[in-house]
Amino acid sequence: MKDLQSTRAMWLKGWLFLVIGLMSAAILLIENWSWRTALLLVLCVWGFCRAYYFAFYVIERWIDPQFKFSGLGHFLVHWLRRGR
């Protein structure tokens, strides 16, 4: 797959991800409202955001600066091969 080059397409993709996240959270909370569910949802989103940051920033900046990867699957293959 080619790299996304269009700035407009990148913005559209970002907004669509935001809409998907907000709609999913709203549906979950509407179906099962409780403060516990809301807190767990917030913690889930925060945890995955931090994991994403780690995967695409920390690894490329400090753990292996020479390796540039395009996704988590690509990194996983690199990590498994490096361990051998």
- 7 is a domain residue: yes
The predicted model scores a pTM of 0.68
Do 50 and 82 lie in one domain? The reply is yes
Residues 3 and 28 in one domain: yes
Residue 81 sits in the same domain as residue 52: yes
Please state, in angstroms and rounded to a whole number, the distance separating the CA atoms of residues 81 and 76. 9
Q: Is residue 27 part of a domain?
A: yes
User: Do 52 and 84 share a domain, yes or no?
Assistant: yes
For the chain, 84 residues long, give each residue's pLDDT as a single digit of tens.
677 888 999 999 999 999 999 999 999 999 999 999 999 999 999 999 998 888 778 777 877 777 777 777 887 887 788 765
Number of independent structural domains in the chain = 2
What residue type is 38 in one-letter code?
Answer: A
Tell me if 4 sits within 8 A of 10, measured CB to CB: yes
Domain span at residue 67? 46-84
56: number of Cβ within 10 Å: 15
Of the candidates 25, 23, 45, 44, the one whose C-alpha atom is nearest the C-alpha of residue 33 is: 25
